[in-house]
Amino acid sequence: MTMEKVITLNVNGKEYTATVRTNETLLQVIREKLHLTGTKYGCGIGECSACTVILDGRTVLSCQMLAVSAAGKKILTIEGLDDGGKLHPVQEAFIDEGAVQCGFCTPGMVLTAVELLQNNSSPSSRDIKEALRGNMCRCTGYTNIENAIMLSAQRIMQEKDK
């Protein structure tokens, strides 16, 4: 039986209280109730990763998670990635390498790359391909996306060495 519940979600460092149906996905709530539309609805069945968000440091498919299960966890969406208006190095590198085409898959790609670089500061081409294996891009511009992730890894390392 579907019920309603009041939950608190911590998204991009901000607390949101929302009344949600117990069968409502995290993706629906992020887009339709919090109006954070950077997280995309692609397939709705866990196949494309357009709906990727970072939850307690790990990427999850928000179309496959109930909003009630995310209550009390820290959620990062693409809107929360910049640092006071300064783009994250992965975002900058996507722009510099022309890795944003129609852009529909881009938020999910960027967040997947952010998680990869948190765990592996110097990924190989194979590591990147492996990390992105679930992220579908209909424009098939994977080479530029891989180049952008390589470039952002280098820039993050250079920044740390300063």
- Residue 41 or 160 having the CB closest to ligand FES: 41
Which stretch, 30-38, 76-84, 103-111, 115-123, contacts ligand FES (CB under 6 A)?
Answer: 103-111
Query: Residue 129: what are its φ and ψ, rounded to 5°?
Result: -60, -40
Q: Which is nearer to ligand FES, 46 or 122 (CB)?
A: 46
* Dist. CA 106–CA 111, nearest whole Å: 9
**Cβ proximity to ligand FES, 13 vs 38, nearer residue:** 38
Q: Mask: binding to ligand FES, 45-84, rule CB under 6 A, as x and -?
A: -xxxxxx---------x-x---------------------
Structure tokens at 97: 């390498």
| Binding of ligand FES by 110 (CB under 6 A) | no
Which tokens is 104 given?
A: 């529909």
Using CA atoms, how far residue 73 sits from 53, 133, 143, in Å, is 12, 26, 34
CA–CA dist 90, 96 (Å, integer): 10
Interface ranges with ligand FES (CB under 6 A): 41-44, 46-51, 61, 63, 101-106, 137-139
